[in-house]
Amino acid sequence: MRLTYGTRRGQGFTLVELAIVLMIVGVLIGGLMVPLSAQLDIRNRAETDRTLADAREALLGYAAANGRLPCPASATSNGQEAFVAGGSAANGNCADFYGGFLPAVTLGITPTDPNGFAVDPWGQRIRYAAYSGTINSVSNPFTQTDGIKNATMTSIAATTHLLSVCATATGIGASDCGTAVKLTDKAPVVFFSTGKNAGAGAGTDEPKNTDGDLVFISHEPTAASAPGGEFDDIVTWLSPNVLYNRLIAAGQLP
């Protein structure tokens, strides 16, 4: 059968239309890639929140049973709390108060990685810091057996600051929030995920969480162009009042 000009022209339009449809589908699929990636990030952050909530309950349970909080795990302690040479629960002298990891094995937290560390959805170890100082002549009161009891709640409350969590690194002091917005300065322990970027965000805020001192930063995720730079850490801490409540209920405090 011989095709007329009109028939060939109709087939040509069909091919063009098909190409346009395929192009539109490609654009739509490409446009969905960012939302799907964002959804994965949201899911991972929600899972991290649950992991940190479980850690909080485990820490409170440990304190109720032992009258103290555990020391951080070291990079080589396989998820067990780590003391310095000569350190023990009797003196609470931890190997690394501010640069360690959540002692998941000591707390009985699961799951862990093959080395015994609790990890976030990005495979990074959950960080954990505990206050080190002397209150009412008691050294390391939160990690020493009966240290909280002997230091007394009154003296702990009167202490200028324990661990501090600030809303920005701008204006912070050497051991407190300084002129920065203060979220807390009475945290016995701080624990956190370094997020998707594993703590590699450039800027002033995120590096403060892994520099091994008493001051930490917490705020919503920000891009590299933000004043404090890229930030995606998920930071939380124990309230001393919640801790006291659990210890009183367990008979560890009067």
> For the chain, how far is it from start to end, CA to CA, in angstroms?
102
Whether residue 226 has pLDDT greater than 80 = yes
In the chain, the number of structural domains is: 1
Work out the mean pLDDT of the chain and round it to a whole number: 92
At 29 the pLDDT is 64
Q: What is the pLDDT of residues 12-29, one digit of tens each?
A: 557 777 777 777 776 666
| Predicted confidence (pLDDT) at residue 35 exceeds the cutoff of 80 | no
Query: Does 149 fall in a domain?
Result: yes
Q: What is the mean pLDDT of residues 169-175?
A: 94
Residue 243: pLDDT above 70?
Answer: yes
Q: What is the rounded average pLDDT of the residues 223-250? A: 96
Statement: residue 154 has pLDDT above 60: yes
Q: What is the pLDDT of residue 96?
A: 97
Q: Higher pLDDT residue, 33 or 22? A: 22
Q: What is the pLDDT of residue 4?
A: 54
Q: What pLDDT, on the 0 to 100 scale, is given for residue 33? A: 58
Please say if the pLDDT value at position 10 is more than 70: no
Q: Is residue 254 part of a domain?
A: no
At 17 the pLDDT is 75
190 in a structural domain: yes
Q: What is the predicted pLDDT for the residue at 14? A: 76
For the stretch 102-128, pLDDT in tens is 999 999 999 999 999 999 999 999 999
Q: Per the domain annotation, does 12 fall within a domain?
A: yes
Q: What is the pLDDT of residue 34?
A: 60
Q: Is residue 144 part of a domain?
A: yes
Kindly state whether residue 204 falls inside one of the protein's structural domains.
Answer: yes
Domain span including residue 110: 5-249
Percent share of the chain, pLDDT over 70: 91
Please report the DSSP string for 14-82 in residue order: HHHHHHHHHHHHHHHHHHHHHHHHHHHHHHHHHHHHHHHHHHHHHHHHHHHHHSSPPPPBPTTSTTSB-
Q: Other C-beta atoms within 10 Å of 25: how many?
A: 10
The answer to pTM > 0.95 is: no
Task: Find the mean pLDDT for residues 223-248.
Answer: 96
Contacts of 109 (CB under 8 A, 6+ apart): 54, 55, 58, 102, 118
